[in-house]
C-alpha cells in the first residue's frame, strides 16, 4: 500500500463481526454520509474505526498506522459520537477540561449548562453537550452516529453548522450517519450505504 499518498482516514480490509471486509479512503476535509437499516452494521463499523472493538484489517490516519500509536491516542484523533452518549460524572462541567472554551452558544445552550446535572438534561441537550465534549479533543476525524436524532429543527441546523465550521477549520474528516436524505445532501458530498456489512456508494 502506498501510504505516502494517503491523507485522511484509510481503512484496509477492515472486518468486525459481520461487517466487512471493507476498504475505504476518506480524504482530509471531506464529509461523507452513511445510511443503512438497523442491524446493518453502521454502529459496529464506527466502533471499529474508533478502535473500540477487536477487528481485522488496518487503519491509518494521514498515512500513520493506528498501531503506531496507543489506543487512547487514536481515539483522541478519531472521535466517535455514539447515538446514545454516556456520562461518567454528575455534573456536565466535570466532563470538560476547559468548560469556557466549549461552543455552547453555537449549539443553542446557555453558559450555565456547565453547572447542570447530567441526569436532569433532556436527550437533546445531552446529544449537543456530547458533541461539545467530543470537540474538545480537536479530533481530525468525526464519526457521528445520528447526532441530530433527538433534536428539534432549529437545533438540527445548529449542529450541522457547528460540524461544518469545525470540518473547514480543522480540515477534518466527517462520517455522518443519517437516514434523512435531505440532511445527507446538506452535510455531505459523497454518500454511502451499508447493507449486509458491505459498503456501496449511492446517490441521494
Q: Give Cα separations from 77 to 87, 122, 137 (angstroms).
A: 20, 28, 7
Torsion (CA) 73, 85, 151, 195 in degrees, nearest 10: 80
Closer residue to another protein, CB minimum distance, 60 or 184: 60
C-alpha 106/C-alpha 97 separation (Å) is: 19
Cell of 30: 471531506
Q: Which residues pair with 64 in a beta bridge?
A: 61
Closer residue to another protein, CB minimum distance, 133 or 158: 133
Closer residue to another protein, CB minimum distance, 81 or 156: 81
Residue 21 preceded by cis peptide, ω within 30 = yes
**Where do the H-state alpha helices sit in 36-138?**
42-49, 71-77, 123-135
Closer residue to another protein, CB minimum distance, 48 or 184: 48
Burial-class residue 54 by CB neighbours within 10 Å (0-12, 13-18, 19+): exposed
Minimum distance from residue 96 beta carbon to another protein (Å): 10
Minimum distance from residue 153 beta carbon to another protein (Å): 27
Minimum distance from residue 54 beta carbon to another protein (Å): 7
How far is C-alpha 143 from the geometric centre of its chain's CA atoms?
Answer: 2
Tell me the chain's radius of gyration from C-alpha atoms: 17
Closer residue to another protein, CB minimum distance, 76 or 183: 76
Interface contacts to another protein, rule CB under 8 A: 50-54, 70-76, 79-80, 82, 84-88, 95, 133-134, 137
Minimum distance from residue 157 beta carbon to another protein (Å): 25
Cell of 60: 491509518
Closer residue to another protein, CB minimum distance, 54 or 100: 54
Amino acid at each position: 500500500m502506498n501510504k505516502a499518498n494517503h491523507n485522511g482516514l484509510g481503512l484496509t480490509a477492515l472486518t468486525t463481526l459481520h461487517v466487512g471486509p471493507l476498504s475505504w479512503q476518506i480524504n482530509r476535509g471531506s464529509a461523507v454520509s452513511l445510511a443503512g437499516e438497523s442491524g446493518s452494521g453502521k454502529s459496529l463499523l464506527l466502533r471499529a474505526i474508533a478502535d473500540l472493538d477487536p477487528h481485522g484489517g488496518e487503519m491509518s490516519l494521514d498515512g500513520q498506522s493506528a498501531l503506531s500509536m496507543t489506543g487512547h491516542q487514536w481515539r483522541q484523533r478519531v472521535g466517535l459520537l455514539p447515538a446514545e452518549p454516556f456520562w461518567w460524572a454528575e455534573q456536565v462541567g466535570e466532563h470538560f477540561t476547559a468548560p469556557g472554551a466549549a461552543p455552547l452558544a453555537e449549539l443553542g445552550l446557555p453558559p450555565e449548562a456547565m453547572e447542570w446535572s447530567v441526569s436532569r438534561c433532556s436527550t437533546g441537550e445531552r446529544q449537543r453537550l456530547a458533541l461539545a465534549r467530543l470537540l474538545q479533543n480537536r479530533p481530525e476525524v468525526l464519526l457521528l452516529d445520528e447526532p441530530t436524532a433527538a433534536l428539534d429543527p432549529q437545533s438540527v441546523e445548529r449542529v450541522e453548522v457547528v460540524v461544518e465550521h469545525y470540518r473547514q477549520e480543522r480540515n477534518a474528516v466527517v462520517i455522518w450517519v443519517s437516514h434523512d436524505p435531505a440532511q445527507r445532501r446538506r452535510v455531505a458530498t459523497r454518500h454511502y450505504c451499508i447493507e449486509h456489512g458491505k459498503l456501496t456508494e449511492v446517490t441521494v
